[in-house]
Amino acid sequence: MQPLISTDDLMSALSADPHPTLLDVRWSLLGPPGRGDYAEGHLPGAVFVDLDAELAAEPGPAGRHPLPDPTALQEVLRRAGVDADRPVVVYDADNGSAAARAWWLLRWAGHRSVAVLDGGYAAWSAEGKPTTTEAPEPGDGGFRVRPGVMPVIDADQAAGLARDGVLLDARAPERYRGEVEPMDPRAGHVPGARNAPFSEHTDESGRWRSPEELAERFAALGVTGGSAVGAYCGSGVTACSVLLALEHAGITDARNPAVLYAGSWSNWAANPARPAATGADAG
């Protein structure tokens, strides 16, 4: 399954048997929680999944959004009706930066058929496609979490990748440069990392740029088909949209995926012994 699905293709898929399981993962770094948006309207049949509480473990030394416990994640996904033999489509408000976290986690957990809705809820509703305020009762799914299908690296491995391969920092340029830091104890970036802001992978409406345009952007950052490449962000959420963009661009795939530094800057910056680079270059 391709990492992105259009609104029209999803509309058609929802009339198929079996139709995809829909997960609403609307979320914002600074709040408010996405459950309120879900209550005001969502795709018919979609189940809300809380990114902070259900797609991450408790904040701590591992970061602000550590990977969830596999058993806990399995319970969440089963309550949402997720099965291994049924495709899953996830969506957020618009640009996929939160939905990509769910996309990546499901892949990490062993699900083979997951896609992000291109343009998210904004695109779906703008086209007049059906929405509802009714919460479904999906029943128990049978998905079994088998963690580790997608590769994860720690801080030492991230430092090595920045030195010997390409480590992409998904945060906004001003956070990468160390000019501001609204969330974590120190500003800056992993030395050697290159800035690939997640916001640049979509257009103003939140729809993803073409594979050709994304490939050109990544090539300018030194990413080619043979590159060892990975991504991080503030806490391991929006970095997943970089991983999705790499796959959409045809640079990586399920057999040769990019790696995620799951702890990301929130893990790196918590250790004062680790250096913090500043400025616009990768040094």
pLDDT per residue as tens digits for the range 223-239: 987 889 999 999 999 99
Region label for 277, one of left (φ > 0), alpha (ψ between -120 and 50) or beta (otherwise): beta
pLDDT at 182: 93
The whole-number pLDDT of residue 229 equals 98
Strand pairing partners for 63? 60
User: Contact at 8 Å (CB) between 181 and 171?
Assistant: no
43: which 2 tokens? Answer: 């795709």
Nearest-angstrom CA–CA distance, 206 and 201:
9
CATH homologous superfamily of 4-126 equals: Rhodanese-like domain (3.40.250.10)
Residue among 100, 120, 89 nearest 1 (CA) = 89
Nearest to 94 by CA among 180, 14, 7: 7
Q: Tokens 């050709």 sit at which residue?
A: 212
Residue 134, both tokens: 């009714």
- Asked if 15 and 44 count as a contact pair (C-beta separation under 8 A), the reply is no
pLDDT score of 97: 96
Res 26: pLDDT: 98
Helix (H) or strand (E) holding 168: strand 166-169
Q: Give domain limits for the chain.
A: 4-126, 152-268
C-beta separation of 201 from 214 below 8 A: yes
Chain segment 48-94, per-residue pLDDT in tens:
999 999 999 999 999 999 999 999 999 999 999 999 999 999 999 99
Give mean pLDDT, residues 253-263.
96
**Sign of torsion over alpha carbons 145, 146, 148, 149:** negative
The rounded Cα 189 to chain-centroid distance in angstroms is: 20
pTM (2 d.p.): 0.96
Residue 246 corresponds to which tokens in the numbers above? 């790499």
Q: Collapse the DSSP code of 171 into the 3-class scheme (helix H, G, I; strand E, B; otherwise coil) and give the result.
A: coil
Task: Write out the catalytic residue numbers.
Answer: 233
Q: Do domains 4-126 and 152-268 have the same CATH topology?
A: yes
For the chain, give the percent of residues with pLDDT over 70: 100
Least confident of 132-141, 164-173, 192-201: 132-141
* CA separation for the pair 162, 93 (Å, rounded): 32
Q: How many CA atoms lie within 13 A of 94 on its CB side?
A: 12
Reduce the DSSP state of residue 161 to 3 states and report it. Answer: helix
- pLDDT for the residue numbered 25: 98
d(CA 4, CA 257): 16
Question: Residue 219 phi/psi, 5° resolution?
Answer: -60, -35
Instruction: Assess whether pLDDT exceeds 90 at residue 128.
Output: yes
What is the structure's pLDDT at 227? 81
Instruction: Give the integer Cα–Cα distance in Å for 19 and 14.
Output: 5
Using an 8 Å Cβ cutoff, are 158 and 220 in contact?
no
- DSSP class of residue 169 equals E
Residue 138 contacts residue 165 (beta carbons within 8 Å)? no
Phi, psi angles (nearest 5°) of residue 169? -100, 115
Instruction: Please give the class, per CATH, of domain 152-268.
Output: alpha beta
**CA 95, CA 74: separation in Å to the nearest integer?**
26
Phi, psi of 202 (to 5 degrees): -125, 165
